[in-house]
A and B are shown apart, each in its own frame.
Chain A
Amino acid sequence: EPEVTQTPSHQVTQMGQEVILRCVPISNHLYFYWYRQILGQKVEFLVSFYNNEISEKSEIFDDQFSVERPDGSNFTLKIRSTKLEDSAMYFCASSGRPGTTQETQYFGPGTRLLVL
C-alpha cells in the first residue's frame, strides 16, 4: 500500500538554525500539506501546496516558514531561524483533488523537531 514517508524521524537543532524537513508524498497525489503537533496539543494545519503554489496557510505559517517541491518526488518544509516554540512533531500529508472522492489526506509518520 502506498504511503507518505518523512525524513528525518528526529531532528535536534539549536535556536536560530535553519532546518529542512522532507516528505515523499504518495506518487499520484498532487496536493501536499504540512501540519504540526506540539506535545500534548491538537494537530494544527500549517500550509497546503498545489502546482508549485501555496493554496492556503494558517497564521502559524509566517515568514520563517517556506515550502518547496524541489523535484518530482520530494516536498519540503523549511524553517529559516528556529525558535524554541517550533519544537513539535511535523506531519506531511498528501491527497488527490479536494472536493472529490480522492480528497482523503494521507499522513506521514512525522518528524520530531526539538529546538534547544
Chain B
Amino acid sequence: DAKTTQPNSMESNEEEPVHLPCNHSTISGTDYIHWYRQLPSQGPEYVIHGLTSNVNNRMASLAIAEDRKSSTLILHRATLRDAAVYYCILTSGTYKYIFGTGTRLKVLA
C-alpha cells in the first residue's frame, strides 16, 4: 500500500492561509491524491482530490508537485471551523482507504 507522510501538527492564525504538506514518494502513475479532514467526533469529510494538475474547489486548493511525489493542501483563509485532523490518502482503484495519523491543524483566534 502506498504511504504518505504528513507533519503531526500545525498551527495557523485565523484569516491567514495554511499550507498542509504531504509526501508520497512511492506514488504510482494511477494513484489519485485525496484529502479528507475529520472534525472532533465526526466522520471523515472529503476536501479535494487530484491526479496530476492543481485543483481548486470551494473548500481548498490542491497543489501537486510536477513529479507527483508531494502535494500541498491550501486553505486560503483559515477559520476556527477549519481546526481538524487533515489526512492525505493515495487511492488507485482500491476499495480500502488507508488513513494515517494525519496533521492536526490548530487555528488560533
The answer for the CA separation of A43 and B94 in the assembled complex, in Å, is: 16
A103 lies within 8 A of B99 (CB): no
Partner-contacting stretch, out of A65-73, A79-87, A105-113? A105-113
Partner-contacting stretch, out of B9-17, B21-29, B43-51, B65-73? B43-51
Q: Contact size class for A?
A: 20 to 34
Interface of B is mostly: loop
A33 lies within 8 A of B95 (CB): yes
Chain B, 37-58, CB within 8 A of any chain A CB = 38, 41-46, 49
The answer for the CA separation of A66 and B13 in the assembled complex, in Å, is: 45
Q: Interface residue count for B (Cβ, 8 Å)?
A: 24
Interface of A is mostly: strand
- Tell me which residues across on chain B come within 8 A of A89, comparing CB atoms: 41, 43
B42 lies within 8 A of A103 (CB): no
The answer for the CA separation of A45 and B97 in the assembled complex, in Å, is: 7
State how many angstroms separate the Cβ of B109 from the closest Cβ of chain A.
26
State how many angstroms separate the Cβ of A82 from the closest Cβ of chain B.
21
Binary contact readout A40-66 vs B (1 if CB under 8 angstroms, 0 otherwise): 001111001000000110100000000
Contact residues of A with B, CB < 8 Å?
Answer: 4, 31, 33, 35, 42-45, 48, 55-56, 58, 89, 91, 98-99, 103-110, 112
